[in-house]
Every structure is written in C-alpha cells, then in structure tokens.
Amino acid sequence: MTSTARSAFVDGARAVLPALPANVPFGLVVGVAAANLGLDPVTALWSAALLFAGAAQLAMMELLARDAPVAVAVLTAIVVNLRYAMYSASIAPYLQSFSRRSRLVLSFFLLDVTYALSVAKFRAEGSVDRRAYYFGTALPLWVTWTVSVTAGASLGTGLPPAWHLEFAIPLLFLALLVPNVRDRGGVVAAAVGGVGATAGLDVPFDLGLVIAALAGVGLGLVADPDGADDEPPADRPDRTPDGTTEGEP
C-alpha cells in the first residue's frame, strides 16, 4: 500500500469511528434476536458477516421466528436492501476507473454508512485514493458488526428487555437520516417516505417501505428538482483540503 493509500485508509477509518459505537448495540440486538431464533453464535457470525445488513437481517429473523414462509423472509431481507441499488447507482460513477475485480469486492461492503461517508468524501475531494478511503470506512464497520452480532448471540437471551436495546436501531437510522435532509426536496422526500412507510405497514413483504420511498423521491423531485447547490461535505467538522478548519456556517 502506498503512503497516499495508507493515509486515505486511515482517513476513512477515522471518519467511520463515530459510527462504530452505534453499531455495537445494533449488532447486539441482532445477535440476541438470532439467539432467540435458536441460532448458535457461529451461525449468527457467518450470517452477519455475509449479509452485512442489520435491518434486513433483523426483519428476516423476525419473520422466521413467526414461522413465515422461508421464501418470504429471504425476499423481505432483499427488499429491505433494495435501497442499496440506489446507493450502487449513485456511487458507481466514482468507482468506474477500478478493475472489475475491485468493484466486485467494493460492492460487498456497500451500505448506508460506507456509502454516505464515501460519496461525501469523493465529492468534496477529487484527489483522494477512493478505494483505500472506502475500505477504511468499510473494514472497521464490518469487523465491529460481525463481532457484536456474535457477542449478542453468545449473550443469548441474557440481556434484560428492560434496556430496550431495540430502540438503538431507529436511533441509528435517525442519525444517518438527519444529515441527508439538506433542502426542501429532502424534507419532502423524508416526510413522504416516513409517513408513507407508516401508513403502509400492513403492505405485504415490507413493500410499503419501498413504495413510500419511491413516492418520497418522486414528490421530492417535483417539489425541488434542483436542490441546494452548496452541498456541504458530510464530514463537516473535518479540515478543508487547504488545512483550515471550517466551523458552523
């Protein structure tokens, strides 16, 4: 690894650091749910390592625990992950120059946090070693995730329900959501997506979420086709490329 790559990797790892503590309770919750389902810690480990998508895994295990058809549980997990197709399309232009093999590997680690951090960085700083930065955000997240799911599965049902650890999940999504509501279009998209998904809770296969999200994007686009052009980099508190520190506007 060149020194540029190493420093980009470290930058990425540093940027993802605040996201890691939130993933521990998230992973513990998923692990405990896995234990409740009757999975041993080893199965919890590899399924979390392979799926690498908490909401999807949680939704899937809840359905399996309710004895829903296996195909429905699998389909639900994939549907919950459909948003990654949008991230995939959004980040693809930044990854075009990489080899096919690189892109096949990079794709595996695509999820909310790696996407949000990386695209913001790539937009703000054209010269960054993208692959190294991306892996810098991805690997600590993947390790933390896998370890905490396994830990949760080992603790099993020992964690008191009174801790309400399941509440960490919407909080985590909330922390990812807020920086994405930057203009009127974002407000409309979030409002329609949120209210629509709530109204569509009884739609089968979790499709309510997907339909609401598409409606949110469509109406956000109608309400505000251009958006704010002064996109701040998502890693706001960081230094600008010339080394100065930007405060709140």
Partner 1 sequence: MTSLSDPILWAAFVAAAVGSYLVRVSFIVLFQRVDEVPRLAERALELVPAAVLAGLVLPSLVAPEGTVAVLTPKVAAGGVATVVAWRTESMAWTLAAGMGALWLLLAV
Which stretch in 4-12, 108-116, 132-140, 141-149 sits in contact with partner 1 by CB under 8 A?
Answer: 108-116
CA distance 2 to 16: 21
CA distance 60 to 49: 15
Q: What type of residue is 167?
A: F
Tell me how far the alpha carbon of residue 118 is from its chain's centroid: 12
CA distance 222 to 192: 12
Nearer to partner 1, 5 or 20 (CB): 20
CA distance 134 to 129: 9
Nearer to partner 1, 170 or 241 (CB): 170
The 183-212 site mask, x for binding partner 1 (CB under 8 A), equals --xxx-xxxxxxxxxx--xx------x--x
The answer to whether 18 contacts partner 1 (rule: CB under 8 A) is: yes
| Side-chain half-sphere CA neighbours of 96 within 13 A | 4
How far apart are CB 3 and partner 1 at their closest, in Å?
27
How far apart are CB 129 and partner 1 at their closest, in Å?
18
The answer to whether 176 contacts partner 1 (rule: CB under 8 A) is: yes
CA distance 193 to 17: 28
Instruction: Tell me which residues in 32-71 interact with partner 1 (CB under 8 A).
Output: 36-39, 43, 46-47, 50-53, 55-57, 60, 64-65, 67, 70
Kindly tell me which residue out of 177, 203, 233, 238 binds partner 1, with binding defined by CB under 8 A.
177
Instruction: Tell me which residues in 120-149 interact with partner 1 (CB under 8 A).
Output: none
How far apart are CB 55 and partner 1 at their closest, in Å?
6
Nearer to partner 1, 10 or 199 (CB): 199
Among 221, 220, 195, which residue's Cα sits nearest to residue 208?
A: 195
Instruction: Tell me which residues in 218-247 interact with partner 1 (CB under 8 A).
Output: 218, 220-221, 225-227, 236
Report how far apart the first and last C-alpha atoms of the chain are (Å, whole number): 37
Which stretch in 2-10, 124-132, 140-148, 215-223 sits in contact with partner 1 by CB under 8 A?
Answer: 215-223
Kindly tell me which residue out of 1, 4, 10, 93 binds partner 1, with binding defined by CB under 8 A.
93
The answer to whether 101 contacts partner 1 (rule: CB under 8 A) is: no
Tell me how far the alpha carbon of residue 133 is from its chain's centroid: 16
Kindly tell me which residue out of 31, 45, 112, 137 binds partner 1, with binding defined by CB under 8 A.
112
Residue 101 CB-density burial (10 A; 0-12 exposed, 13-18 middle, 19+ buried): exposed
Residues 234 and 117 sit within 8 Å (Cβ to Cβ): yes
> What's the token pair of residue 146?
């896998």
The answer to whether 30 contacts partner 1 (rule: CB under 8 A) is: no
CA distance 38 to 59: 16
The answer to whether 168 contacts partner 1 (rule: CB under 8 A) is: yes
